[in-house]
């Protein structure tokens, strides 16, 4: 069982119980979907991430260059997160902090995701990413 803690002036803790074991892929899905959800809810994205990606790739014009750069930055963030989790297989990462604001030193909001032990020997082929997203965002 993991938990998501929203730290502002007061602290809100959301416990999310997963019925499945937590693999590397499922952990990455949870983190990336949570980032996408928070960005959309905080009106940092005009559409959901997947819809925005579709709209930008469908239209190929110079006016979309800023939006395309933003999507590329988010996808790079997801790749870096994957890389960090893959490189730390021997050491258990206990939490991930999502920091939102103009600078990391003065964040407006911080979300801390407490991660249970990842099951590295378990095959992710038997799990569906959408199932994790459903449990996370319901």
Domain count along the chain: 1
Burial class (CB in 10 A: 0-12, 13-18, 19+), 111: buried
Domain holding 7, by residue range, is: 2-137
Q: Where are the alpha helices (DSSP H) in the chain?
A: 24-41, 49-58, 65-87, 129-137
pLDDT of residue 66: 77
The model's pLDDT over 67-124, given as tens digits with 9 standing for 90+, comes to 788 888 999 998 998 888 778 766 777 888 888 888 888 888 888 888 777 665 555 5
Spatial distance between the Cα atoms of 42 and 29, rounded to a whole number of angstroms: 20
Length of the chain (residues): 138
Q: Which tokens in the block code for residue 80?
A: 């870096």
Q: Which tokens in the block code for residue 23?
A: 């693999």
Query: Above pLDDT 90, what percent of the chain?
Result: 3
Average pLDDT, the chain: 75
């Amino acid at each position: 069982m993991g938990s998501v803690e929203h730290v502002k002036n007061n602290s809100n803790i959301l416990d999310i119980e997963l019925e499945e074991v937590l693999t590397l892929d499922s952990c990455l899905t949870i983190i990336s979907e949570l980032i996408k959800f928070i960005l959309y809810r905080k009106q940092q994205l005009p559409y959901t991430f997947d819809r925005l990606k579709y709209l930008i790739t469908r239209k190929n014009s110079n006016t979309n260059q800023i939006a395309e750069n933003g999507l590329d930055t988010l996808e790079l963030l997801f790749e870096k997160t994957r890389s960090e989790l893959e490189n730390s297989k021997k050491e258990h990462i206990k939490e991930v902090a999502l920091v939102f604001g103009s600078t990391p030193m003065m964040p407006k909001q911080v979300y801390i995701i407490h991660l249970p032990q990842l099951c590295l020997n378990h095959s992710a082929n038997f799990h569906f990413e959408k199932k994790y997203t459903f449990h996370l965002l319901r």
